[in-house]
Amino acid sequence: MDAIPKTESLIARINKHPLAGTDYFSCIQCGRCVGSCPAAAVSEKFNMRIMNKRIMEGDETILSDDTIWDCFYCHTCVNLCPRDNIDSYKTILILRDLALEKGYGISHMKNILPLMNSYLKKGVLVDESEPSWMNLKAIEEIRWINSITGMTERVLALERAYEASKSKEKGE
């Protein structure tokens, strides 16, 4: 049996994600994704062309690079790309998932986690009405789905990681 490599390559981990599908080596580095990109317009470092290149090169530091959190998820680059097997919207989503797994970028969950908590409890993201406008049976069903599909567990894990990162910050 071959020796198991110590760490799986970045591309291999990206390709294991359920939303994988981009063939990074088919990127022709034309930069069309950058020209139309709102994040590139306002963030000095955000450049999807370079990011695809870094993935091709197996650059692990991309996960700790805070720039991956600059994407606006507008989807424009996906439709403008001349290749039909490159989806940078999903690439960013996957990179952020992998980053969180490694403990990077957890601070960006600050404003998102309360919304998710509302969703876990009430079945809606934004709802100031009490009781919720959804009926109780529906809320029960949503809670059940969240639980069996793994979202409840994921949100709780992110909350724990967020709290831990905050107390670590205080301790230092």
- By CB under 8 A, residue 34 contacts another protein: no
- Site string (60-99) toward another protein, x via CB under 8 A: ---------xxxxxxxx-xxx------------x--xx--
Is 161 a residue that touches another protein (CB under 8 A)?
Answer: no
Angle between helices 136-148 and 113-122 (to 10 degrees): 120
Number of residues that bind another protein (CB under 8 A): 56
CA angle 123, 126, 128 (to 5 degrees): 100
**Residue 91, both tokens:** 């690439």
Task: Determine, following the binding rule CB under 8 A, whether residue 53 of this chain makes contact with another protein.
Answer: no
**Per CB under 8 A, 126 contacts another protein:** yes
Q: Please tell me whether residue 38 binds another protein under the rule CB under 8 A.
A: yes
Comparison of 25 and 73: residue with beta carbon closer to another protein: 73
d(CA 142, CA 122) in angstroms, rounded, equals 8
In order, the DSSP letters of 1-61 are: -PPPPSS--HHHHHHHSTT----GGG-----HHHHT-HHHHH-SS--HHHHHHHHHTT-GG
Closest CA to 52 of 79, 89, 2, 101: 89
Asked if 19 interacts with another protein (CB under 8 A), we say yes
Q: Which DSSP letter does residue 83 get? A: S
Out of 5, 18, 82, 171, point to the residue binding another protein (CB under 8 A): 18
User: Taking CB under 8 A as the rule, does residue 141 contact another protein?
Assistant: yes
Interface with another protein (CB under 8 A): 18-19, 21, 38-39, 41-43, 69-76, 78-80, 93, 96-97, 100, 108-113, 115-116, 119, 123-129, 133-135, 137-138, 141-142, 144-146, 148-151, 154-155, 158
